[in-house]
Structure 1
Amino acid sequence: MSRDVAVLIPTLRRPDSLARAVRSLIGQAPNRLREIVVADNDPAGSARATVEALATEASVPVIYVHAPRPGVATARNAALTATEAPLIAFLDDDEEAAPGWLAALLDTHERFGADVTFGAIHGRAPDAKPWLRPYLEDFFSRRGPEAAGLVAEPYGCGCSLMTRAVALPGPAPFDTSADQSGGEDDKLFAGLAARGGRFAWAPGALAFEHAPAHRATLGYALKRAFAYGQGPSQTCAHARDWAGVLKWSAVGAAQACAWSALALVLWIARRPTRAQALDRAARGLGKLFWFNGLEPQLYGAAELRRTAASA
């Protein structure tokens, strides 16, 4: 078959992590991989030199795109403009594809006639506190069925393969209102599901997510858990499904009360599992407090401020 796949990597001031991600793609599905596109989300364009150096190592083009307005959806949209490939894979700049990753995605995608196929992710958090590390490595992981096949619910955009014409309609399919908070993939997949889209799971398509020190904390994980919890309620609100909003809010209230009480007991007892209980409580609160303006700011400008403060 012709080379028909582009892998897109949005990045923001992570040169070492970006280099690891790109190098993990070299040699993947050599008869199918057309190009690697890196969308640099730093206004200063700091990734250009790294991408140009990596391009000399790769057997396929490594294309640099500057997306100077910080935001995860903006970066994904900008990367799409740089390729005409009919199949689009996404790998985040903190992820590393295992050997055979792209081939496994393609095999499952084509075998089951999927519009989007998701791969497995194993989290790594070597800088986390010992008691917290098992929770965080599980938090940054993504697990699914043991066997490849169609699934009813989508996962996240990172470590995925999409049929562009169906799953990524128009020149800017990712909603830029989610630039700072994330969740742009939730809106994309909700729209695809409403159109009858087909999702698949490829357990053999493995990537590793490397959590840097500033993310290997309980506070960061709970912010992300709260944002994940907001997803179902916000999706219903976007569709004006107010009965669904009420349902998820009620579920969230029950979860928040039950898991907060358990977390308090576990915290007093200094049990490591208090992290898991707090995670469930945060997800419940997210379902309840889903309103616009309450989304945690985790990407784009927030990341720029963090890197500037640590410089």
Structure 2
Amino acid sequence: MLQPLLDICICTCRRPEQLRRTLMSLSRMNLPDAVGLSVTVVDNDSSQGASRTVEDLQATFPFPIRYVVESRPGIPLARNRCLDEAKAKGVDYLVFIDDDEWVDSGWLVNLYSYAQKVGGNSVVSGPVISCLPVSSPEYYQVFFCRKKGTTGELMPYCATNNVLIPSFLYSEMGLRFDERNPYAGGTDVMFFTEARSRGVEIRRCVEAVVYEDVPEHRATLTWLSKRKYSVGITLARQKLYAGRNRSQLMGSAVTQFVVASLTLLVGLPFRRLRTRSWLRACRSAGMACGVLGAESQFYRRAHT
């Protein structure tokens, strides 16, 4: 019987040192039994800025690393190149992580073993733990926390920052990341929303942990505000795709914006409450604009 094949895919753009850390963490992790494993690095930079990083590690890496360039700019195009490369390799599972993350030693064992436990045909998503710079206010941690949930929980969607995907999603169902707006955020959310609408289970595995360092320029109110606005636009698109009534969704967004604004006024003397309320207002504004057809350009510039 042939071993199942797993391909860990990393999209990168002008972050060679972060990518090096990601790859080094993969080289030290525990490996699942009786599987074939490879890594694909898709460099979304026509100047091939990540080539040296990969070349430095290839000779001593414990499993094969393939380096390819997707010169057309945009995260969904790089992600689709990952799908194409995985399909060409004939892998059974594609695993996405980001180029600014590093993995827990038991990450892949936990992710893959849980996928097999639930039958091998589910998307499985793990948590990302954000590590903030010491210069950021302590209460900012809550704004970078993802919902932890419980292992086995069914999810309506997930992201590509820590996820295992069975190959039939792209090889048989033909799912692709939407390339029409290559700089938009949330194309991964829409990819998995479509998968869920077509009967694919998306399950959470809290034991499959990866970490990310949050740079100082992200741990700011300006960056968080732009991010929350973009998230609001994506959330509106996701809910509309899932069948939510447009008028009702607009009413909900406006109501949330008003409540957040009033809470902001009340909370002006209190930094934590003021910040939380402002960010909720930004997300609600994004939802309202998303209902009206606005599109995010959050990734027009590479985020270092």
Q: Output the TM-score relative to the length of structure 2.
A: 0.89
Paired letter, 1:129: S
Per the alignment, residue 253 of structure 2 pairs with: 252
Q: Indicate whether 1:138 and 2:139 are aligned.
A: no
Using the alignment, how far apart are the partners of 1:157 and 1:139 within structure 2?
A: 19
Which segment drifts farther, 25-34 or 275-284?
Answer: 25-34
Instruction: Give, as a single letter, the amino acid of the residue that structure 2 aligns with 1:100.
Output: G
Distance 1:198 1:123, change over 3 A: same
1:1-311 equivalences in 2 (<5 Å):
2-26=3-27, 27-29=29-31, 31=33, 32-83=35-86, 84=89, 85-113=91-119, 114-126=121-133, 128-130=135-137, 133-135=138-140, 137-146=141-150, 148-166=151-169, 173-238=176-241, 241=243, 244-266=245-267, 268-290=268-290, 294-299=294-299, 301-303=300-302
Aligned-partner residue type, residue 115 of structure 2: H
Q: Take 1:10 and 1:215, find their aligned partners in 2: how far apart are those partners?
A: 20
Summarize the Cα distance change of 1:157–1:245 in structure 2 as closer, same or farther, 3 Å threshold.
farther
| Cα distance in 2 for residues equivalent to 1:247 and 1:54 | 53
Cα deviation digits, residues 100-132 of structure 1 (max 9, x gap)? 1111111221212352111011111215532xx
In 1, Cα distance between the equivalents of 2:134 and 2:293?
32
8 Å CA contact retained: 1:119, 1:201: yes
Offset, 1:92:
0.4
Shift of 1:64: 0.6
For the residue of structure 1 that corresponds to 2:294, the secondary structure is coil
Preserved CA contact (<8 Å) 1:233 1:244: no
1:35–1:61 contact (8 Å) kept in structure 2: yes
What secondary structure does 1:205 align onto?
coil
CA offsets per residue over residues 1-29 of structure 1, 9 Å max, x none? 72511110001111111111111111442
Change (3 A) 1:275 1:13: same
Q: Which is further off, 104-113 or 34-43?
A: 104-113
Which stretches of structure 1, 4 residues or more, deviate above 4 A after TM superposition? 167-172, 236-239
Deviations 1:48-84 (A, max 9, x none): 1111112233111111110112211111111222232
Change (3 A) 1:167 1:142: farther
The answer (yes or no) to whether the contact 1:5–1:34 under 8 Å persists in 2 is yes
Count of residues in correspondence between the two structures? 297
| Structure 2 Cα separation of the partners of residues 153 and 90 of structure 1 | 18
Alignment-mate amino acid for residue 19 of structure 2? L
Spell out, residue by residue over 1:185-228, the C-alpha distance to the aligned partner (whole angstroms, 9 max, x if none).
12211211111110111010011121222222111112111121
Unaligned residue ranges in structure 2 (runs of 5+): none
Percent identity of equivalent pairs? 28
Q: Distance in 2 between matches of 1:139 and 1:16?
A: 26
Letter in 2 for 1:231: T
Unaligned runs of 5+ in 1: none
Farther off after superposition, 171-180 or 71-80: 171-180
Q: Distance in 2 between matches of 1:211 and 1:9?
A: 18
